[in-house]
A and B are shown apart, each in its own frame.
Chain A
Amino acid sequence: MSLIQFDQLTRSYGRRRGIEQLSLSVEEGALFGFLGPNGAGKTTVIRVMLGFLRPSSGSARLFGRDSWRDTKAIKQEVGYLPGDLRLPPWFTGNSALSIFGQVRGKDLFRPGRELAEKFALDLTVRVRAMSRGMRQKLGLILALAHSPRLLVLDEPTSSLDPLIQQVLLAHLRDVSAAGHTVFFSSHSLSEVEQLCSRVAIVREGKLVADETLAALRARAGHEVTILWSDASQTANLEPPAFLRLARRDPGVWQGVLEGPVNRLLEFLAGKPVQDLYIGRPDLESLFRRFYQTTPEARV
């Protein structure tokens, strides 16, 4: 069953761009990465999904329910961490767990304390005295404590130190292994790459990719450097279509190989190659191209 289902979802803000005809589904138990540059529409998607904003057209459904009409029932099973987390300054971890527990009708103290231990947070400190990182940890604890079926995290690692980032990612893997779903929004490929099995990429309010990481890796190019032993023989040589050159000197070609390596090896057979370097699949450059807004740079 699809836990999250967007169908031609559009949300506009007058002149300002929102999201356009976004269709997407996320299965239960998935570790789903939602990537895009700042301002691409990731947070708008989350806000429509949680019933803060009404879709202009199309639909957003969670657990088979309409995200606007059934928002209360939906959020019983959702843990949410906003991208720009603000909490009342008088909150302490303990008072927040108490109030959130009363709202949810659950005792959140025990799981909250366990999580606080894991994330190294003192639950007696007031929010006004907390650093940004501490507030982020408290937000994560409040999102995780009731063990929700769906976790929606908007840029969760921002302002966390690298050690706690790793603790969080490990915890999310455990959460997913227990059958819960994680919707992980980020603009950083590296953390999504560490965590998620599937990613969707949004750019300028539109979905530009929705694939497994394995499929993306297969699509990603390899960095290639070819050193020619006889530059005079290769001066008029035309590169094949699957080799996008960034540097083309008489003795050196440098660029990105798109597609399988053996096609390049077949092309090079019999040519005066002095040396050849083929790098690992380069997801970063693929994502950079996904993120770029100029038409010629697009994937």
Chain B
Amino acid sequence: MNRGLVVRALRESWPATLVLGLVLAFVEAALAFILPRFGSQLPAQWLQMGMIRGVLQAMLGTRIADQLGPEMFHSIAWVDPLPLALTWAHAMISCTRVPAGEVDRGTVDVILGLPVSRWELFLSETLVWLGCAVVLLFAALAGNLLGSLGLPAQDRPHVGKVLIVLLNVFCLYCTIGGLSWLVSSLSERRGRALTIVFLIILALFLLNYLAQFWQPLERLVFLSPLHYHRPVEILVGGVWPWHDLLVLLSAAIFMWLAAGVIFSRRDLATT
């Protein structure tokens, strides 16, 4: 780790973190406020309709037969595509800065001309990324809790359970970050790296979603990181998702380490 590199990375990362954090807080507040109310007003027979049920199950990643309460609707706030897209966008932006971003904007020669090892650069960037991730996710948490204040006390989610969900979201975020690091370490164009990561994530998202409707895909659903993100089971059942957290973190660490090794060994220069 190098203080100068951390300062530089922080200076370049905070604007995106601030903007996305504020938007995320707002979206989470709106979802946390609206969804449980909407759920309670939804006619029960609608939820028995195959299509609606399937869509909800696809989003939540779990069977919802016995979980039709405010917690279930509250958990949608953590699986809705909009907050997921915002957190993942942050991971993708942060984790493609080095090396793809630096090569792309032509500043890699200046950075590598300094007396720092590539691992130092990698670790400094990682530290700033994780720091910004914590800020981003706490903004989401703040928005979520703020939105819940508008609900009757008995319908508000349990803060402890929400924190577990947040940890799950963090691990999911790290997996997307790890994937972005890996693709970035192999790229020289940030736009290309972002496109590849986006397409992979989209494919995995669709895989998880469509597996609810199409049996043959169920065998492959373990490949999707969303398969390991089931907030309804945490909010309703209060279970610690150890297995999901471990799988997501292992995948994140594996890809991040692979990215570090590739980055430390590859040729790097402005093209």
Which A residues form the contact surface with B (CB < 8 A)? 47, 50-54, 71-76, 78, 80, 82, 84-88, 90, 95, 98-104, 139, 142-143
B binding-site residues for A, Cβ under 8 Å: 2-5, 7-8, 11-12, 105-110, 112-117, 120, 265, 267-270
Q: Is the CB of A101 within 8 A of B107?
A: no
Chain A residue nearest in CB terms to B12? A88
Are A82 and B114 touching (Cβ within 8 A)? no
Q: Is the CB of A86 within 8 A of B115?
A: no
Min CB–CB distance B10 → chain A (angstroms): 11
> Which residues on the B side are within 8 Å of A139 (C-beta)?
110
Assess whether A102 is in contact with B114, with CB atoms less than 8 Å apart.
Answer: no
Chain B proximity of A9: nearest CB distance (Å): 15
**B270 adjacent to A51 (CB under 8 Å):** no
B5→A103 contact, CB < 8 A? yes
Residues of B within 8 A of A53 (CB): 267-269
Which residue of B4, B8, B107 is within 8 Å of A86 (Cβ)?
B107
Contact B4 A82 (CB under 8 A): no
**Chain A residues whose CB sits within 8 angstroms of the CB of B117 once the complex forms:** 71-72
A80 cross-chain contacts in B, Cβ below 8 A: 109, 113
CB-CB under 8 A from A102, the residues of chain B are 2-4, 7
- A82-B270 contact given A87-B110, A90-B11, A103-B5, CB 8 Å threshold: yes
- Smallest CB–CB gap between A78 and chain B, Å? 7
In the complex, what's the smallest C-beta–C-beta distance from A183 to chain B, in angstroms?
13
Q: Return chain B residues, CB-CB under 8 Å to A74.
A: 115
Instruction: Across the interface, name the chain B residue whose C-beta is closest to A102.
Output: B4
CB pair B8 A82 closer than 8 Å: no
How far is B265's CA from A99's CA once the two chains are assembled, in angstroms? 25
| Complex Cα spacing A103 to B2, Å | 6
Point out the residue from B5, B7, B112 that lies within 8 Å of A52, measured CB to CB: B112
Given A52, A85, A99, A101, which contacts B269 in the complex, CB threshold below 8 Å? A52
Q: How distant is B5 from chain A, measured CB to nearest CB, in Å? A: 6
Q: Give B103 Cβ to nearest chain A Cβ, in Å.
A: 10
25 contacts between A and B (CB under 8 A): A47-B109, A52-B112, A54-B265, A54-B267, A71-B117, A72-B116, A75-B114, A78-B113, A80-B113, A82-B109, A86-B106, A86-B110, A86-B270, A88-B8, A88-B107, A90-B12, A99-B4, A99-B7, A99-B8, A100-B4, A100-B114, A102-B7, A103-B2, A103-B4, A104-B115
Give the docked Cα–Cα distance between A297 and B55 (Å). 75
Closest to B15 in A: A90
A50 contact set on B, CB distance < 8 A: 112-113
Q: Residues of A contacting B115 with CB < 8 Å?
A: 72-76, 78, 103-104
10 residue pairs, one from A and one from B, having the closest CB atoms: A102-B4, A103-B4, A86-B106, A80-B113, A82-B109, A75-B115, A76-B115, A72-B117, A52-B269, A53-B267
* Shortest distance between the CB of A65 and any CB in chain B (Å): 12
CB of A151 to closest CB in B, whole Å: 11
Which chain B residue has the least Cβ–Cβ distance from A146? B115
| B4 & A52 in contact (Cβ 8 Å cutoff) | no
Q: B8: which A residues are within 8 A, CB to CB?
A: 88, 99
Distance A80 CA – B8 CA, assembled complex (angstroms): 19
Minimum CB–CB distance for B185 against chain A, Å = 15
- List of A residues within 8 angstroms of B109 by Cβ: 47, 52, 80, 82, 84-86
Q: Which residues of B contact A95 (CB under 8 A)?
A: 11
Docked Cα-Cα span, A39 to B265, in Å, equals 25
Interface centre among A71, A95, A99 (most CB of B within 10 A): A99
Q: Using Cβ atoms and an 8 Å threshold, which residues of chain B touch A88? A: 8, 12, 105, 107
B266 (CB) vs chain A CBs: closest residue:
A54
Task: Report the nearest B residue to A13, measured CB to CB.
Answer: B267
Give every chain A residue within 8 A of B110 (Cβ-Cβ). 82, 85-87, 139, 142
Which residues of A lie under 8 Å from residue B106 when comparing CB positions?
Answer: 84, 86
- Given contacts A85-B110, A99-B7, A102-B7, list 20 more A-B pairs with CB under 8 A: A47-B109, A50-B112, A54-B265, A54-B267, A71-B117, A72-B116, A74-B115, A75-B115, A80-B109, A80-B113, A84-B270, A86-B105, A86-B110, A87-B110, A90-B11, A95-B11, A98-B7, A102-B2, A102-B3, A103-B114
A101: nearest chain-B partner, CB-CB:
B4
Q: Provide the residues of chain B in CB contact with A103, threshold 8 Å.
A: 2-5, 114-116
A256 to B104: give the CA distance in the assembly, Å: 48
Q: Cβ of A52 and Cβ of B114 under 8 Å apart?
A: no
B269 contacts across to A, CB distance below 8 A: 47, 52-53
Q: How far is the CA of A51 from the CA of B5 in the complex (A)?
A: 19
| Complex-state Cα separation, A100 to B3, whole angstroms | 10
